A and B are shown apart, each in its own frame.
Chain A
Amino acid sequence: GDSVTQMEGPVTLSEEAFLTINCTYTATGYPSLFWYVQYPGEGLQLLLKATKADDKGSNKGFEATYRKETTSFHLEKGSVQVSDSAVYFCALSAQNTGFQKLVFGTGTRLLVSP
């Protein structure tokens, strides 16, 4: 079945460091890919998405490119801030489910220190 694998955390960085959180997926067809972020005490929020190969999703300085050849959707940010500390979830929604059912990775906690 469909699955998402993302790197285990926590990822601990200093402010202004470069961030990469790896995400790879297994799915049939052409899924849509997402990154969600969960701040403490809040619900998951959509950070960015990409719906087809080579699309780049971006938001708030975060970027991820849909790489079908490597089945990856790695999240990157050039300079993290303390306020970026949160849990990040990679997810896919499969074409054959009408793009509604999300399959999540385990989440990666990011801790950014001043």
Chain B
Amino acid sequence: GAVVSQHPSWVICKSGTSVKIECRSLDFQATTMFWYRQFPKQSLMLMATSNEGSKATYEQGVEKDKFLINHASLTLSTLTVTSAHPEDSSFYICSATISSGANVLTFGAGSRLTVL
């Protein structure tokens, strides 16, 4: 079946540094990828939708200059948290869909970011 891989699975960084998280579709081409964020004991919140070759669409309240999303190929999307602060510490999850009309998504295992 479809597999989505996220890397790294966990990362610790110092405040003010930038961190990149990769999301790869291993055995299918993902026209659309989604990035979610999950705080402890809260829902997964959609941050942005990225389509291959075009700019990401961010949800209301998500800073696009802080959370840079790139979807340069049909198998890779990256999320870069720039100038990270402790409040950015969270669990980041990506998902991918094989076509724009599908309503079934494949999720990565998530990446836990801790900013010191």
CA distance A20 to B71 in the complex (A): 39
Interface pair B103/A100, CB less than 8 Å apart: yes
CA distance A63 to B54 in the complex (A): 39
Q: If A100-B97, A106-B41, A106-B43 touch, does A43 touch B106 (CB 8 Å cutoff)?
A: yes
Residues of A in contact (CB 8 Å), total: 23
Interface pair A100/B43, CB less than 8 Å apart: no
Q: In the complex, what residues of B have CB within 8 A of residue A75's CB?
A: none
Q: In the complex, what residues of A have CB within 8 A of residue B34's CB?
A: 100-102
Residues of B bordering A, CB below 8 Å: 4, 6, 32, 34, 36, 41-46, 49, 93, 95, 97, 100-110
Q: If A43-B93, A44-B93, A89-B44 touch, does A99 touch B107 (CB 8 Å cutoff)?
A: no
User: Is the CB of A42 closer than 8 A to any CB of chain B?
Assistant: yes
CA distance A99 to B49 in the complex (A): 13
- Shortest C-beta distance, A43 to chain B (Å), equals 4
Interface pair A44/B107, CB less than 8 Å apart: yes
Q: In the complex, what residues of B have CB within 8 A of residue A101's CB?
A: 34, 46, 49
User: Is the CB of A114 closer than 8 A to any CB of chain B?
Assistant: no
Residues of A bordering B, CB below 8 Å: 4, 32, 36, 41-46, 49, 51, 89, 93, 98-107
CA distance A14 to B49 in the complex (A): 40
Q: In the complex, what residues of B have CB within 8 A of residue A107's CB?
A: 43
Counting chain B CB atoms within 10 Å of each CB, which of A46, A98, A100 scores highest?
A100
Of A42, A46, A100, A106, the contact of B32 (CB 8 Å cutoff): A100
Of B41, B49, B109, the contact of A41 (CB 8 Å cutoff): B109
Q: In the complex, what residues of A have CB within 8 A of residue B106's CB?
A: 43
Q: In the complex, what residues of B have CB within 8 A of residue A103's CB?
A: 43, 46
Q: If A4-B43, A99-B103, A100-B49 touch, does A43 touch B4 (CB 8 Å cutoff)?
A: yes
